Structure 1
Amino acid sequence: MSKPFDMELFLVGVLTGSQATRQRHLRQAKVIHAAIADHWQRESPWSWQRKHVAWFLEHRLTRRSEATRYYYFLTVRLLTGRLEKSWCFKYQVKV
């Protein structure tokens, strides 16, 4: 049996800011990871493709507030930076 993926260890090198900010990014990264693992059966961020993260941003956050979507977008930027990917996601403001 394999050990569950440790998101805190994965993000330790890119997390900056206050303790509250780091905890928020970690909490949101775990939510993103759980959603992608549940829907796409991808247990590790190393196996993610751009479409998996785009799916989360477009479909899982549709009913969330503008502020919540923005903070998740910031967390996604940290994740893609840690993965050393050049993925670009357009942050869209609902009008």
Structure 2
Amino acid sequence: MSKPFNMELFLAGVLTGSHATRQRHLRQARVVQSEIAKRWQRETPWSWQRKHLVWFLEHYLATHSEPTQYYYLLTIRLIARRLGTSWIFNL
């Protein structure tokens, strides 16, 4: 049996800001991870492609408010930075 993926450990190197901000990013990253795992059975960010994160922004967040979409965009940019990619995301 494998251990569940630790999102906190994954993002530890790129998380900055206040405690509340770090907790928000972690909570949102876990939601992103959960929804991508449900849709594509990709459990870890290392197996994600740009299209997975674009789907999350465009389809999953479509019914959410603009501020919510913006905060998730910030979290997704942190994930991309941690993956070491040059992916660009816009709303």
- Bin the TM-score by the shorter chain: over 0.9
Following superposition, the deviation at residue 25 of structure 1 comes to 0.2
Following superposition, the deviation at residue 90 of structure 1 comes to 1.8
What residue is the counterpart of 2:15 in the other structure? 15
TM-score of the two chains, using structure 1 as the length reference: 0.94
Hey, what's the Cα distance between the residues in 2 that align with 1:44 and 1:22? 19
SS at match of 1:4: coil
Q: Percent identity?
A: 68
What residue is the counterpart of 1:49 in the other structure? 49
Q: Partner amino acid for 1:31?
A: V
Off by >2 Å, runs of 4+ in structure 1 = none
What residue is the counterpart of 2:25 in the other structure? 25
In structure 1, stretches of 5+ residues that fail to align are none
CA RMSD of aligned residues (A): 0.5
What residue is the counterpart of 2:80 in the other structure? 80
Q: Deviations over 1:41-77 (max 9, x none)?
A: 0011000000000000000000100100000000001
Aligned residues: 91
Q: Deviations over 1:1-34 (max 9, x none)?
A: 1111000000001000000000000000000000
TM-score of the two chains, using structure 2 as the length reference: 0.98
